């Protein structure tokens, strides 16, 4: 309970700090999203969670999918809205399969980046992701116009999760 209170206090403090520096836009958003995911992962760690998938969109959404005691669960956070908390969400069998396929990607530590895949697209979202297992971490980013490139690189499950939960 004491750790939870500290975490809530930190979130409130960090939230007010970031609000005052919102001019820095997406860079600050990325830092904020990363801190939120890290705090949630630290909370889940003692509960037996050892693999996670997180995605952050520059429109203000974070999704965290994880496996706990053989059950795949998910939580979503809207950090540009007035409500500042993770909300548990339901996953379909297809969502669970996409998660499992993403976890398989994390066979070695690596960084993946696909941005601005189509020249004629003038507006797209930037998505930052992290796939973490006990042994490895895969980090990266892609833009919403990169579906074909992701598919060609066996990363399409990431795009499926983005479409379903972050749009």
Give the per-residue pLDDT at 153. Answer: 87
Give the per-residue pLDDT at 156. Answer: 92
pLDDT per position as a tens digit, 5-42: 444 444 444 444 444 344 345 666 677 777 888 888 88
Dihedral sign of CA atoms 92, 141, 82, 36 in order: positive
Strand order in the sheet with 52-57: 87-89, 71-78, 61-68, 52-57, 126-132, 137-143, 110-114
pLDDT per position as a tens digit, 55-108: 988 778 889 999 998 899 999 988 766 666 788 999 999 999 999 999 998 888
């Amino acid at each position: 309970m004491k750790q939870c209170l500290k975490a809530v206090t930190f979130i409130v403090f960090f939230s007010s700090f970031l609000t005052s520096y919102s001019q820095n836009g997406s860079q600050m958003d990325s830092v904020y999203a990363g801190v939120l995911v890290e705090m949630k992962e630290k909370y889940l760690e003692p509960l037996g969670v050892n693999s996670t998938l997180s995605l952050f969109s520059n429109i203000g959404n974070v999704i965290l999918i994880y496996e706990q005691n053989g059950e795949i669960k998910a939580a979503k956070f809207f950090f540009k809205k007035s409500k500042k908390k993770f909300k548990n969400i339901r996953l379909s069998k297809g969502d669970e399969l996409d998660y499992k396929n993403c976890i398989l990607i994390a066979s070695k530590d690596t960084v993946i980046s696909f941005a601005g895949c189509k020249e004629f697209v003038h507006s797209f979202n930037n998505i930052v992701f992290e796939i973490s297992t006990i042994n490895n971490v895969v980090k990266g980013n892609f833009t919403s116009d990169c579906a074909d490139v992701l598919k060609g690189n066996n990363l399409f499950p990431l795009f499926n999760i983005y479409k379903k939960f972050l749009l």
